[in-house]
Structure 1
Amino acid sequence: MLPTTPGRRARLLPLALPAAAVLAVSACGGGSEDSGGSAGAGASGETRTVEHARGETEVPADPQKVVVLEPVQLDTAVALGTVPVGAAMFDEAAGAPAYLGEEAADVQGVGTVPEPSVEKIAALEPDLILGTESRHSALYDRLSDVAPTVFMETQADPWQDNVGLVARALGDEEGAESLMDDYRARCGEIAEKYGTEGMTAQLVRPRDDVLTLYGPTSFAGSTLECAGFTTPEHDWEDISLDISPERALEAEADLVLVTADDVDDPEAVPPSVRENEDAFPELHTVDRSFWIAGVGPKGGMTVLDDLDRILEESDSFSAG
């Protein structure tokens, strides 16, 4: 199980909910009406009832053409072998993140994560759409007219819970649990290898005029904690906290990781941190594309591999 920390405000829930509450299979040839008024079924004609942020929706038992609107949905679908036909991206021009591999290279962009295009989604003729209530609430009815639509509550929920919902929508909870078991096992390997228990770690994302610190319920923060680290205590604003550059010393920890688009750029670490290098003896830059945006089983394993590399090269965390 993933470790918990005092002050964590969101409880990490198991991937699977009781089957009777989540899933019902019906062998109806034409599909069933979902909560938004659309109907759809996969190649088999069977449907399942999935409970989600908007209620219950009949989805294809075997969806063939899936469109996703969140990074965790794209990552999880690819990890489960259901490569979406379309996805909203943070940077549509850049396409799917490279860490997802060649299988995701042909995923079509359907707008940005904050502003997906219903027209582009409809053109792909999907049989299942996955989105998020907190970001896409105003689009739900229009999306449901295109295809059965399942919404997560919010992208700020514990990402493991959102992986579970995606897996239920795709009909592969067992596959998702296997992926998360591998993730937890990799965490344990790193914790044991480097003796991270009792050590602190902090991920920092520089923005225009602030430093964003990521807390224990964020994707990166929970992964660092899964690998044995503890996040320094702060008054977290949900999953993170913005501080001014003048307060950079509040990011102090045994291991400090600063996100960057180019980890080799000497200017990637902001001046407010560079000028206090004595306070950050273990300071490393990490790739923002998966430490921040790589939410999901594949992203988690990519972050853990990168963490293993960093600790292997560190003077403070030599393998025992």
Structure 2
Amino acid sequence: MPPRTGPAKRRLLAGLALPAVAALALTACGSGDGDSANGSGGHSGKHEVKHARGTANVPAEPKRVVTLEPVQLDTSVALGVVPVGTAVLNEKTGVPPYLGEKAAGIKTVGTVQEPNIEKIAALKPDLILGTESRHSALYERLTSVAPTVFMATQTDPWTENVRLVARALGDEKGADRLLGDYRTRCTEVAGEHRTKGRTAQLIRPRDGVLSLYGPTSFAGSTLECAGFTTPARDWENSISVDLSPERVRDAGADLVLVTAADVEAADAVPDAIRDNAKTFPAPHVVDQSFWISGVGPLGGQAVLNDLDRILTAAK
């Protein structure tokens, strides 16, 4: 956490950290983000963040953050701002364990798809982070609780969403550091295992289909960052496409990774893959809690460490 400074210096630092909005007049935001209670961006201890719904006037050093997306949770924890509450993908499994003990006590406020406004309000947040594509209908209610910053979609390049979260938390340099560490680790894995020229495909079995994750997905982009190439296909402007089990051979690659909630389960690799051993001679089961759900700098490092383990064992 950066040291506190005087009001004038905080305003200067906020302006330097947000070049994308420096040309905007520091007037009322006009986005319903709770400014009526806290004043405009020119007041002490505030900075403005341009986001998917306009411009939010948020605390320079938010203390009680609620996140509604995995990338927001991961990035906040990575930056040392442990949220007081978070929406989760599954209330039964809760906060992903890869985030460690410091995140274990975060209260859940419903699911990513259906956040609970009452639970959020009860935590008295000073900043809420959400997503236009998922939470658009809740925006006015959320802004009545606390200043709110929205990503455009959860399918945007995850590294850009990391930068938006960092701006909202007043720590843009922190994002540079985290993403720099991530790229450095990618380079280490690529060099150690000579991945250039090899293909890799992540497969997620679910609901009777096989979802293949492409180069713009979190896991796919991390595999490519580590030197692999995703097999060419029509990704239909999406992060993933679904295959029927009958077309499973279309998912072949030099390295095939299959996600599972329980990597030790006997049925972690679906029959469609087991029955096609020539196409899939050595599929590797990986933990979906970070390969799929762990979007963010900490999840990226977890994926790269797991990839390093797999490639080392395969030598």
Q: How does 1:163-174 map to 2 (within 5 A)?
A: 163-174=162-173
- Equivalent position amino acid for 2:87 in 1: A
In the alignment, structure 1 segments of 5+ residues that lack a partner are 1-16
- Equivalent position amino acid for 1:21 in 2: A
Give me the whole-angstrom Cα distance separating, in 1, the residues matched to 2:133 and 2:22.
24
Q: Which residue of 2 aligns with 1:36?
A: 32
Deviations 1:234-260 (CA, angstroms, capped at 9, x unpaired): 110311010100000011000000000
Query: Cα 1:33–1:145, aligned 2, differ >3 Å: closer, same or farther?
Result: farther
- Equivalent position amino acid for 1:38 in 2: G
Q: Which residue of 2 aligns with 1:192?
A: 191
Q: Which residue of 2 aligns with 1:297?
A: 297
Deviations 1:27-77 (CA, angstroms, capped at 9, x unpaired): x9xx97661151366xx9511110000011101111010000000000000
Q: How does 1:17-96 map to 2 (within 5 A)?
A: 19-22=18-21, 35-39=31-35, 45-96=44-95
Residue range with higher mean Cα deviation, 53-62 or 276-285 = 276-285
Structure 1 residue 279 displacement after superposition: 1.0
Give me the whole-angstrom Cα distance separating, in 1, the residues matched to 2:181 and 2:21.
24
Q: How does 1:97-246 map to 2 (within 5 A)?
A: 97-237=96-236, 238-246=238-246
Structure 1 residue 21 displacement after superposition: 2.1
Give me the whole-angstrom Cα distance separating, in 1, the residues matched to 2:28 and 2:282.
56
Query: Cα 1:122–1:33, aligned 2, differ >3 Å: closer, same or farther?
Result: farther
1:200–1:232 contact (8 Å) kept in structure 2: yes
Q: Secondary structure at the match of 1:278?
A: coil
Deviations 1:232-291 (CA, angstroms, capped at 9, x unpaired): 011103110101000000110000000001111121111111000121123100001000
Q: Which residue of 1 aligns with 2:276?
A: 276
Q: Secondary structure at the match of 1:277?
A: coil
2:68–2:115 contact (8 Å) kept in structure 1: yes
- Equivalent position amino acid for 1:64 in 2: K
Give me the whole-angstrom Cα distance separating, in 1, the residues matched to 2:176 and 2:294.
18
Query: Cα 1:24–1:143, aligned 2, differ >3 Å: closer, same or farther?
Result: farther
Give me the whole-angstrom Cα distance separating, in 1, the residues matched to 2:106 and 2:31.
27
Number of matched pairs: 295
Is structure 2 residue 292 aligned with structure 1 residue 263? no
Q: Percent identity?
A: 63
Give me the whole-angstrom Cα distance separating, in 1, the residues matched to 2:189 and 2:22.
36
Q: Secondary structure at the match of 1:279?
A: coil
Give me the whole-angstrom Cα distance separating, in 1, the residues matched to 2:92 and 2:254.
37
Deviations 1:149-177 (CA, angstroms, capped at 9, x unpaired): 00000000010010010000001110111
Q: Secondary structure at the match of 2:284?
A: strand
Query: Cα 1:34–1:97, aligned 2, differ >3 Å: closer, same or farther?
Result: farther
2:59–2:127 contact (8 Å) kept in structure 1: yes
Deviations 1:190-225 (CA, angstroms, capped at 9, x unpaired): 100010000000000001211000000000000000
Query: Cα 1:108–1:161, aligned 2, differ >3 Å: closer, same or farther?
Result: same
Give me the whole-angstrom Cα distance separating, in 2, the residues matched to 1:33 and 1:18.
18
2:29–2:55 contact (8 Å) kept in structure 1: no
Give me the whole-angstrom Cα distance separating, in 1, the residues matched to 2:228 and 2:290.
19
Aligned-residue RMSD, C-alpha: 2.2
- Equivalent position amino acid for 1:123 in 2: A
- Equivalent position amino acid for 2:266 in 1: P
1:24–1:49 contact (8 Å) kept in structure 2: no
- Equivalent position amino acid for 1:223 in 2: T
Give me the whole-angstrom Cα distance separating, in 2, the residues matched to 1:306 and 1:254.
17
Query: Cα 1:136–1:32, aligned 2, differ >3 Å: closer, same or farther?
Result: same
